[in-house]
Amino acid sequence: MDRLIFHIDVNSAFLSWEATRRVRNGEEDIRLIPSCISGDPSKRTSIVLAKSQSAKKFGIVTGESISSAIRKCPDLYIAKPDFVLYEECSRAFKNICRNYAEDVEEYSIDECFMDMTGTKILYPDPIKTAYEIKDLIKKDLGFTVNVGIGTNKLLAKMAGDFEKPDKVHTLFLHEIESKMWPLPVKELIFVGKNTSDKLERVGIKTIGDLANSELRNVKSLVGDKLGQQIYEYANGIDETKVEGENRRAKGYSASITFEEDITDIDILNKILMGLADSLCTRIRKDKVRTGCISVNIRFMDFKNKSHQTNLYDVTDITKDVYQIAKKLLEELWDKKNSN
């Protein structure tokens, strides 16, 4: 049976979720003006967590300081982050997805994968079903998503990253050559700036160039593990499963994916604080506490690193979880930079 995977990605999630709340309260839609989500602009450590399409036109990027963003766009509207709201919106759109698929993997707070394999009798037209899900989320929840459709998670996610917002795209095996291979090699998942620079220096400028290169040459450039991975990805190969909740060990997690690489530990700590708050809100709601905390980060060179610790006393307090997670993150960061 051919696999069928959907990837659902909220468009400018943090900003869209804040905008949706304001629209429901009869306020202006901040998605239509230069705007962003950030902390207090008077503090040097405040950074852009999300931005509108209008703000993007001014060259504002995720992760830059808010003072820099204001210099680019003096009329930039700034809204404060609200991770409790984000968690509510995240849960709401994923619940809609669960009405269509048994296995839904929470890839991050604003993304999920749906395993639609074997649903042909219920949903004979995958594209029509994708539009139905997209439009239902927009109608019921007030924000837009992109839906990518493919025969594996890689192709579905790549399709979801095509033209935005509020779109449905396919990337099936027979479409790889026409839709994916012409893209710049840096557009391939897990190809960061350092890797793309190495590839481009030897003439591998597109995903198609990478797919048609000699594997041994790719490995010699970027290492065996990463070389094997990106070579397979360039050829549309990905066997990883959609890990639905019923397949995972009991636990709680919160994560986020950014369009740009984040290289500043202070920025990551601020993001971590919001994720810890979101996570502990769920833990307290379920009336449980945690005795183990783990942090996982993915670097621009594709390497994943995780660090965890067991607690002497279980907790559901945001400050406790954040302080421990912060320490774990800093240890990972130091280890990465010492390699």
Whether 296 contacts 306, CB under 8 Å: yes
Domain count, the chain: 4
Per-residue pLDDT tens digits for 235-259: 999 999 998 765 444 677 777 766 5
SS3 3: coil
Same domain, yes or no: 96 and 230: no
Cβ contacts of 39 within 8 Å, gap of 6 or more: 45, 46, 47, 66, 80, 81, 270
pLDDT attached to residue 249: 47
- Whether residue 254 lies inside any domain: the answer is no
Select from 79, 101, 117 the last residue of a domain. Answer: 79
Same domain, yes or no: 111 and 9: yes
Select from 126, 144, 176 the last residue of a domain. Answer: 176
What percent of the chain lies above the pLDDT cut of 90? 58
Same domain, yes or no: 206 and 74: no
Same domain, yes or no: 185 and 147: no
Which of 111, 177, 259, 331 is labelled catalytic? 111
- Whether residue 246 lies inside any domain: the answer is no
Same domain, yes or no: 10 and 100: yes
SS3 296: strand
- Whether residue 241 lies inside any domain: the answer is no
Residue 111 annotated to the active site:
yes
Provide the domain limits for residue 214.
Answer: 177-234
Per-residue pLDDT tens digits for 273-314: 878 887 888 788 778 888 889 888 766 544 567 888 888 788
Same domain, yes or no: 131 and 276: no
> Is residue 338's pLDDT more than 70?
no
- Whether residue 321 lies inside any domain: the answer is yes
